[in-house]
Amino acid sequence: MDVLPRQAADAVVNMAADQMLLEHYPAPDRVRFRPFAWSAPAFTFGVSQSWAKYRAQVPADIPLVRRCTGGGLVSHLDDWTFALVIPPGHPLFEAEAMASYAAVHEALQEALLRQGQPVTLAPLPAGQRDFRAPDDCSRRAEPNDLVRADDGRKVAGAAQKRNRHGLLIEGYVWRPHLPGCDWSRFQEDFTAALAKVLGSPATAVPEPIYDQFDHEGTWAKFASREWNERI
């Protein structure tokens, strides 16, 4: 598993970097993991959701950018975020979405339990599950999301995009629900747990160098009204 350096950027750059990680990574057969931060407050929302609906909910001075993955509105005001790409040929690339969610969140759980944080996976429903819109997904737990075991508050969630290049998982951990967490230690423990779950030893790598045309074109996509306001 290639582990990229954790860097801070704005919402457009971060969302473009995640798609580049999926579609233009120079070692496409490798599992790759990109922890990242936000240089300014932002919100993101799922690829198939309404721009107007969420723009009305987000303060006008805070950027709102459409992700290439699914899900609803997510606040990046105080979270710890990451992108993970699983290439074709890996068992989790072929697995159902719930299995890949569970694998990633089990690694998150292991890392947080090492610091005594009371977290657990949200259970699967016992019977048929009614449709639930993705609105407010940053607070409402879905099956295999990570929640606090003591009060049920959602701690972590993720969204996915699967294509011929691989499976992209964009995930976040909501830091205010985890008081006392040492985030430097968490990153080390999560990386190790993720490498174990995926069967791919972690290797630190430098920031990848992409083709300039691909890099600029992907950035322009996520900065454009045509992408963000298309629905």
Query: What's the pLDDT tens digit per position in 45-60?
Result: 999 999 999 999 999 9
Task: Domain 2-123+135-228: give its CATH architecture.
Answer: 2-Layer Sandwich (3.30)
Specify the length of the chain in residues.
231
pLDDT of residue 123: 86
pLDDT in tens, 197-209: 999 999 999 999 9
**C-alpha torsion 196→209→172→140, nearest 10:** -110
pLDDT of residue 144: 85
Q: How far from chain centre, in Å, is Cα 229?
A: 21
Q: How far apart are CA 210 and CA 163, in angstroms?
A: 19
- For the chain, domain boundaries: 2-123+135-228
Tens place of pLDDT per residue across the chain (231 aa): 999 999 999 999 999 999 999 999 999 999 999 999 999 999 999 999 999 999 999 999 999 999 999 999 999 999 999 999 999 999 999 999 999 999 999 999 999 999 999 999 998 765 554 545 555 554 557 788 999 999 999 999 999 999 999 999 999 999 999 999 999 999 999 999 999 999 999 999 999 999 999 999 999 999 999 999 999
Neighbours of 18 (CB within 10 A): 27
